[in-house]
Amino acid sequence: MRLLHIVATFSLAGSALSQSNTVDAYISSESPIAKAGLLANIGPNGAKCSGAKSGVVIASPSTNPNYIYTWTRDSSLVFKAIIDQFTLGQDPSLRSQIDNFIKAETFLQQVSNPSGTVSSGGLAEPKFNVDETAFTGAWGRPQRDGPGLRSTALITYANWLVENNNATFVSSTLWPIIQLDLDYVAGNWNKTGFDLWEEVQGSSFFTTAVQHRSLREGAALATRIGQTSLVSNYNTQADNILCFLQSYWNPNAGYITANTNSGRSGKDANGALASIHTWDIAAGCDAATFQPCSDKALSNLKVYVDAFRTIYTINNGIPTGSAVATGRYPEDGYYGGNPWYLTTLAVAEQLYDALTTWNSLGELNVTTVSLAFFKQFDSDVVVGTYPSTTANYAALTGAVKNFADGFVEIVAKYTPANGGLSEQYNRGTGVQLSAADLTWSYASALTAFGARAGTITASWGASGLVVPSRCSTAPTSTSSSSTSTPTPSPSPGSVSVTFNVHAITVYGENIYLTGSVGQLQNWSPDNALLLSAANYPTWSITVTLPANTAIQYKYIRKYNGKITWESDPNMQITTPSSGSIVENDTWR
């Protein structure tokens, strides 16, 4: 038996070495192609962005589907990658691109659009024409992740400038742009919007996570340049957002329910993307901010990856514990629902960031939450702390490294000979689909490759944070009487809650209730709870809910197959420790 074990060990080691060599070769060839592909999509001189103004990032040169627009989210993520390369000294030539981006975003912030003006919601407009005019067609708007992501990219540059004796430019030019975005986040974080896939209107884990980061580092920059009057509000709202962030965690199933009101499982690349874009090595494996090596982030990653093992033909025959192609979410139907390059690479990047953090900490901690993740690699692993000097640490981190490399190897396998990265690759054949030369795909390749090399990006203030014991559901800047509620971690027990809502309806129209917990159908409009009209125009229902829990909810109308939601923001209650309560509402 011992001989067989030794033979198997050498076999696995040889396989891992072969895979590592394949990944090394792919990164060597693909890195310059991805960099060139990214820059080709930035105006005015990019080779594939004809008509784009200076500093404007097109999503893709594709006309079918038509992606020749500039999205705030995509542009900000792309330029965060560019700014990181510049500020880390990897490519000094990128400074002119950054300056062009600043000018473009300064202009775009002021463009009135269907979401509003700069002071009335326009900062949440998802996309614009590449000539910097408003896109006025129908779209999923608002999308509230853009201001947080844009401010994060610019804050990274601003901090570098301050450190290099150019605080004057930061105060006079950068801060006014950054402040507009931060003020928007502080005032609107608790309102629903469309998710990063532009399909679901509700609350999104990714959006909440990047909003939290933006306010933390925004408060620090404000302090640094003397804008101290803004710091208290930014920090207060960051605390509130951190509290709300915890409500996405599904402890029974071990994953992040990525979106409310989706009607889907909630298993989504959203979680891995949030983790890598809010990584702060100084925070270690903090679970409250879902750091890449945290037990919650690792548990979520396993559930997300496993959701794709049996639904894509190209994953057939790949055993548990090995990498597979992954997409946005298992229920996806866009272009037939396929793997995406950027989502498959996001898994690898999270794992590489986790490895870098463990090496920095000098230890790896396995908890009951993350145990299933590690058991993929060693069925005998147990809960505990494994110092970096131990054989167990070497074995586990080696297995995780091999697992991460597997996702890059899959991307390599389905990258065509010219190195071009589209949006998707076919679930049955691996052939590229949808938009060609997707800028975000190229950026995700560069950041994943950098993570594998151990690149550490600037910290943003995630270290030492404590989830408040009580937090507000409304920004203090817009509400004089916010409701204080405990952290949304349910305690044992349950209580009876009667919901009454005054709602005038027409014949055949009914009122339903749904919300953020399973007893309220997890924001599903299809499975929402029907209220009784016995005391019309007051509609009522009594529901048993978890005790000591912050719960969000909304009423919806259903009439002739049409669903109408109440207006924002979500309503929220905190259930007592025992007994019963009555909530009296009026339809909004």
Q: Are residues 499 and 440 part of one domain? A: no
Which is catalytic among the residues 198, 363, 378, 509?
Answer: 198
Q: What is the dihedral of CA 427, 431, 432, 434, to 10 degrees?
A: -60
Q: Are residues 237 and 101 part of one domain? A: yes
Q: Are residues 498 and 438 part of one domain? A: no
pLDDT on residue 334: 94
| Confidence grade of residue 478 (pLDDT, cut at 50, 70, 90) | very low
Q: Are residues 181 and 92 part of one domain? A: yes
Q: State which residues form the domain around 519.
A: 491-586
How far apart are the C-alpha atoms of 585 and 554, rounded to whole Å?
10
Q: Does a structural domain hold residue 471?
A: no
Q: Using one digit for the tens of pLDDT, what is the confidence trace for 294-342?
A: 999 999 999 999 999 999 999 999 998 899 999 999 999 999 999 999 9
Q: Are residues 391 and 499 part of one domain? A: no
Which CATH number fits the domain that encloses residue 429? 1.50.10.10
Q: Does a structural domain hold residue 52?
A: yes
Q: Are residues 370 and 274 part of one domain? A: yes
| Confidence grade of residue 14 (pLDDT, cut at 50, 70, 90) | low
Sheet containing 532-535, strands listed edge to edge, beginning at the edge strand earlier in sequence: 532-535, 538-546, 494-502, 580-586
Which is catalytic among the residues 30, 74, 195, 423?
Answer: 195
pTM of the complete model = 0.80
Q: Does a structural domain hold residue 227?
A: yes
Domain boundary among 424, 452, 480: 452
Which CATH number fits the domain that encloses residue 542? 2.60.40.10
Q: Are residues 555 and 446 part of one domain? A: no
Contact 438, 343 (CB under 8 A): no
**Structure letter (DSSP) for residue 65:** T
Q: Does a structural domain hold residue 467?
A: no
Q: Are residues 405 and 524 part of one domain? A: no
Can you tell me the mean pLDDT for 262-290? 96
| Average pLDDT over the chain, rounded to an integer | 91
Which residues fall within 8 angstroms of residue 102, CB to CB, at 6 or more apart?
Answer: 55, 154, 157, 173, 174, 177
Rg (CA), the chain: 24
Q: Are residues 551 and 423 part of one domain? A: no
Domain boundary among 395, 426, 452: 452
Q: Are residues 214 and 68 part of one domain? A: yes
Q: Is the pLDDT of residue 475 over 60?
A: no
Q: Does a structural domain hold residue 461?
A: no
Q: Using one digit for the tens of pLDDT, what is the confidence trace for 70-85?
A: 999 999 999 999 999 9
Structure-token pair, residue 128: 């614009």
Q: Are residues 518 and 441 part of one domain? A: no
Which residues fall within 8 angstroms of residue 293, CB to CB, at 6 or more apart?
Answer: 284, 285, 353, 354, 355, 357, 358, 364
| Beta-ladder partners of 140 | none
Q: Name residue 12's amino acid.
A: L
Q: Does a structural domain hold residue 19?
A: no
- Number of domains observed in the structure of the chain: 2
Domain boundary among 452, 478, 506: 452
Q: Does a structural domain hold residue 270?
A: yes
| Confidence grade of residue 496 (pLDDT, cut at 50, 70, 90) | confident
Q: Are residues 347 and 206 part of one domain? A: yes
Q: Using one digit for the tens of pLDDT, what is the confidence trace for 88-134?
A: 999 999 999 999 999 999 999 999 999 999 999 999 999 999 999 99
Q: Does a structural domain hold residue 108?
A: yes
Catalytic (active site) residue 198: yes
What is the phi/psi pair of residue 120, to 5°? -135, 35
Q: Is the pLDDT of residue 5 over 60?
A: no
Q: Is the pLDDT of residue 484 over 70?
A: no
